[in-house]
Structure 1
Amino acid sequence: MRTIHITSQDELPDVARAVIRSLGRRTVVAFRGGMGAGKTTLIREIVAALGSADTVTSPTFAIVNQYKAGKERIHHFDFYRIDDQREAYDFGYEEYFYSGDLCLVEWPEKIEQLLPENTMNVRITADSDTARTFEID
């Protein structure tokens, strides 16, 4: 596990690069942290670091947004609004998670049992208004 502490949002590109370097062959990343911890903000940095010019927004209502980085597709999920993991079956989560495309997942706690075994976890702790601790494993 790697732990990174930042005191400014200006340091987020470094965290994004660390997440990308830590992926290895994994394609599903679960972002864990409370409301306002910075999950979407970090995902925005990761998508940009991968070369996408797409606008990254939280897919709270759509559940999934798709971005392009060159020829690669990136799927950004937000499961905050689902009440039952069966809802993930309704939109075909398996097609995304097992596609080989990068899948960035907010609120993975809502679908914990559906996550692939080799899911990477990024835990975000808000230490203050501007400081964050990231645990990458």
Structure 2
Amino acid sequence: MKLELLANGDDAMVDLGAQIAKALEGRGIVYLEGNLGMGKTTLSRGIIRSFGHTGAVKSPTYTLVEPYEFGSVNVYHFDLYRLASPEELEFLGVRDYFDGDNLCLVEWPEKGAGALPRPDLTITIDAVGAGRRLTLTGVSPHGQASCQRIQQLRSEG
């Protein structure tokens, strides 16, 4: 299932992030695709803040992963932009992050091709005028159900 959403400005991206987080129910693997400056980290901020985080949410470009723990929900925000090769992920033990019921947000997933598990949901962000178009693709049954929940949330709101 594919779903297209439009966002105009950072606040709209953060709001969409909160809707996406609710639809994902705190678990899954989400690939965030798009060129530099498209709003991947802003969308991640909305997802992470929806679970109660009040501090800064910055892209973990140098650390590769930033963990956020909220009781029963663990969110791991990855930024693979500076990854030299997918094999680096193996040295970091990233498989542990993707096991279980964690929510993993992966910016620049193409840099980890072959070492990353298949996503539940892929979000591709493109510029449309001054705004952004987000194309959500449900890859797994969980991702497809999440797209349906987002569609339902948006029609109610």
Q: Please report the TM-score for the alignment, with normalisation by the length of structure 1.
A: 0.88
Which residue matches 2:65?
A: 64
Contact 1:47 1:69 in 2 (8 A): no
Match of 1:88 in 2: 89
Letter in 1 for 2:33: R
Match runs of 1:37-76 below 5 Å = 37-76=38-77
Are the counterparts in 1 of residues 17 and 46 from structure 2 also a CA contact under 8 Å? yes
In percent, how many aligned pairs have the same letter? 33
- Mapped to 2, the partners of 1:84 and 1:112 lie a distance apart of 9
Name the structure 1 match of 2:34.
Answer: 33
Cα RMSD after superposing both structures: 1.9
Question: Structure 1 runs of 4+ off > 3 angstroms?
Answer: none
Q: 1:58 to 1:85 in 2, by over 3 A?
A: same
Deviation at 1:76, TM superposition (A): 0.6
Distance 1:10 1:117 in 2: 29
CA distance in 2, matches of 1:44, 1:25: 14
Aligned residues: 136
Q: Work out the CA distance in 2 between the residues paired with 1:57 and 1:25.
A: 19
CA separation in 2, counterparts of 1:118 and 1:43?
Answer: 16
Q: Secondary structure at the match of 1:110?
A: helix
Per mean C-alpha deviation after superposition, the further-off stretch among 22-31 and 96-105 is: 22-31
Q: Which is further off, 48-57 or 11-20?
A: 11-20
Match in the other structure for 1:132: 132
Match of 1:97 in 2: 98
Counterpart contact for 1:63–1:77, Cα < 8 Å:
yes
Question: Structure 2: which amino acid aligns with 1:57?
Answer: K
Q: Which has the higher helix share?
A: 2
Residues 14-33 of structure 1 aligned to structure 2 (within 5 Å): 14-23=15-24, 27-33=28-34
1:83 Cα deviation after fit: 1.3
Q: Unaligned regions of 5+ residues in structure 2, if any?
A: 138-157
**1:9 maps to which residue?**
10
Distance 1:93 1:80 in 2: 16
Q: Is the 8 A contact 2:26 2:103 kept in 1?
A: no
Q: Which residue type is aligned with residue 57 of structure 2?
A: V
Q: How many angstroms apart in 1 are the aligned matches of 2:11 and 2:119?
A: 30
Structure 1's unaligned 5+ residue stretches are none
CA-to-partner distance for each residue in 1:59-109, whole Å, 9 max, x for gaps? 100011111223422111111111110000010110001132111101001
